[in-house]
Amino acid sequence: MNVIYWIDGTYIPESLGEINHFFRDWRNNAVHNIDARTVDFLAATHSMLRVNEPYMLLSGYRSPQTNAMLRARSRNVAQNSLHLHGQAADVRLRSRSVRQIAQAAQACNAGGVGRYSRSDFVHFDCGAVRSWGS
């Protein structure tokens, strides 16, 4: 997805709608409003990394049903995950390591950053500034 979602200090509603659809729960196609702060956080980090490659989005919005299913399979899934509120995204880049992405994200000081090196992705959220994982 390549979309301009912000111009001259204003978010573009049509573009945010496209983002909401792209970030939908792919397991059941449920769409939820994605918090623009999460998109801003992802965009700022991407810019800092100086890459042309787009993120691969692994998980954006998660419906309660999907989150419950994932929690049953893994203890690493939060019961009240920010994914449920459209405030989180799990992404990867082929050209950058989890460490590199997470370091750039942490430099933004914009929210939560989780490193999941074994699964090769970084969690971003617009909650409290914190970090975890390896």
At residue 93, the pLDDT reads 98
Q: pLDDT of 34-74, one tens digit each? A: 999 999 999 999 999 999 999 999 999 999 999 999 999 98
CATH of the domain at 44: 3.30.1380.10
What is the distance between the alpha carbons of residues 35 and 81, in angstroms, rounded to a whole number?
14
Q: pLDDT of 75-96, one tens digit each? A: 888 899 999 999 999 999 999 9
| Any domain includes 2 | no
At residue 134, the pLDDT reads 85
Q: What percent of the chain has pLDDT over 90?
A: 93
pLDDT band at 131 (very low <50, low <70, confident <90, very high): very high
| Any domain includes 22 | yes
What is the domain range of residue 90? 8-133
| Any domain includes 103 | yes
| Any domain includes 3 | no
Residue type, 18: E
Please give the tally of structural domains in the chain. 1
What is the distance between the alpha carbons of residues 121 and 101, in angstroms, rounded to a whole number?
9
